[in-house]
Amino acid sequence: MRILIVGNGGREHALLWKLQKDAPEAQFFATEPNGGMTPLCVPVDIPATDIVALAGWAAGHRIDLAVIGPEAPLAAGLADRLVRSGVPAFGPGAGAARIESSKAFAKEVMAEAGVAAAEAATFSDEAEARAHIEAVGAPIVVKASGLAAGKGAIVCETRQEAHDAVGEMMGGGFGEAGRVLVIEEFMTGEELSVFYLTDGERFLPLLPSQDHKRIGEGDTGPNTGGMGAYAPVGFATHELLDRIGGEIVAPTLARLAELDAPFRGLLYAGIMVSDGGPRVVEFNCRFGDPETQAVLPMMKSSLLEPMMEIAEGGTLEGYPTPEFRTGAAVTTVVASEGYPGPYTKGHPIRIPDALPPGVVVFHAGTRETDGGIVTAGGRVLAVSAIADSFEVARSRSREGAAAVEFQGRQYRRDIGWREAERLAPS
């Protein structure tokens, strides 16, 4: 079996690692692999977003399964092209990927499907956006409708901040992504990420997790792609997950199917949970990063089997719910100095051979060179620890992060603080 992983971040390293456990005999390929993926696969020297070249390459190399990690190639139609070339692809077509690539479209789908989300309005005219801010006031959230690498949402405490956000997004700072804005109600509560493997109708939940978007400890400072995660999440009871499945995921999938854009792949539901119940913060059309690096090490059953079923156009009817080990996983992202602002690359990385038990280091922005592994991105490594208890996983992830070294490294020492507070005897 020949499996192609498209993408080269921490999420893709975790996908490669898990699929290799599921199919040790398979041959793996990956596009421009990072320094941790390189020893595990055959590199393919085609960027993830060059969808024409990639589809041609995959067909020519008789790939049995292409797993598309990032949103950009999905939004550009890589899955559609692969399928047309006869290559089974895991990931939605461009039509369904709009659930992430256009927040305006996602809002429409949710409204039509009766799914609970923040009150929102969509603007392509700057004066109208500003008038809306004056009318509704702050706090308020200003979002670029298009893809913005996880940095397209600005939570604004004051009207002035909201005006500044509108100016920045519509003034060209976000390129095409900021041409249309979604301005929405600020929701309070606690966030939850739930991943669903879906054939477009039926869906199988993976272990619920929680991201840490802000750069600073105590959830302060600007948003990032995600600085850490843990799974499972204490407040995500069966009852809550049933509600999310029934009230949010099922109607959203049904509406996409009605729009002739059935979602086959991995639907990421970003949920805000408050006393009023679960509401959608965002949908993504792919696995979350860094949540995947916490969720997949916990997965006992095969990921490859349901992925293959979905990619080959099959059905999840009667499919068993994925199984996860007991205990918990905690992932600490180690980032470059300056991230999420400008940072430098090329700094040598030292990862000790001896790490705490249950620790796996997934690479993100790293590159293999003749002189060893060097930094090559903002988020550099994701240090995941699994253990029988949350507290042990948490301290081992932190110890692991402290043990990896490169110039100017930064990481949050408080990943999982909400769960720790929940578990602490009061």
Nearer to ligand GLY, 46 or 303 (CB): 303
Task: Count the Cβ atoms, other than its own, within 10 Å of residue 102.
Answer: 20
Nearer to ligand GLY, 247 or 291 (CB): 291
What is the dihedral angle through the alpha carbons of 84, 113, 146, 6, rounded to the nearest 10 degrees?
-40
Chain residues that interact with ligand AMP, rule: CB under 6 A? 118, 141, 143, 152-153, 155, 184-187, 191, 213, 223, 270, 281-282
Instruction: Please report how close the Cβ of residue 153 comes to ligand AMP at its closest, in angstroms.
Output: 3
Nearer to ligand GLY, 80 or 291 (CB): 291
DSSP assignments along 54-79, one per residue: HHHHHHHTT-SEEEE-SHHHHHHTHH
Choose among ligand AMP, ligand GLY, none what residue 281 binds, the Cβ cut-off being 5 to 8 Å by kind.
ligand AMP
Residue 289 contacts ligand GLY per CB under 6 A: yes
DSSP assignments along 1-33, one per residue: -EEEEE--SHHHHHHHHHHHHH-TTSEEEEES-
Choose among ligand AMP, ligand GLY, none what residue 155 binds, the Cβ cut-off being 5 to 8 Å by kind.
ligand AMP
Choose among ligand AMP, ligand GLY, none what residue 226 binds, the Cβ cut-off being 5 to 8 Å by kind.
ligand GLY
Residue 9 contacts ligand GLY per CB under 6 A: no
Task: Say how far apart CA 68 and CA 49 lie, in whole Å.
Answer: 11
On the CB side of 250, how many CA atoms lie within 13 Å of its CA? 8
On the CB side of 301, how many CA atoms lie within 13 Å of its CA? 13
Nearer to ligand GLY, 63 or 273 (CB): 273
Instruction: Please report how close the Cβ of residue 416 comes to ligand GLY at its closest, in angstroms.
Output: 15
Task: Say how far apart CA 326 and CA 424 lie, in whole Å.
Answer: 19
Residue 150 contacts ligand GLY per CB under 6 A: yes
Query: Which of 8, 102, 198, 284 forms a contact with ligand GLY (CB under 6 A)?
Result: 284
Task: Say how far apart CA 167 and CA 171 lie, in whole Å.
Answer: 5
CB-CB contact of 199 with 123 (8 Å) = no
Query: Which of 70, 226, 306, 377 forms a contact with ligand GLY (CB under 6 A)?
Result: 226
Kindly indicate which of the ranges 51-59, 127-135, 163-171, 281-289 contains the residues binding ligand GLY, using the contact rule CB under 6 A. 281-289
Nearer to ligand AMP, 81 or 279 (CB): 279
**3-class secondary-structure state, position 166:** helix
CB-CB contact of 75 with 98 (8 Å) = yes
Residue 414 contacts ligand GLY per CB under 6 A: no
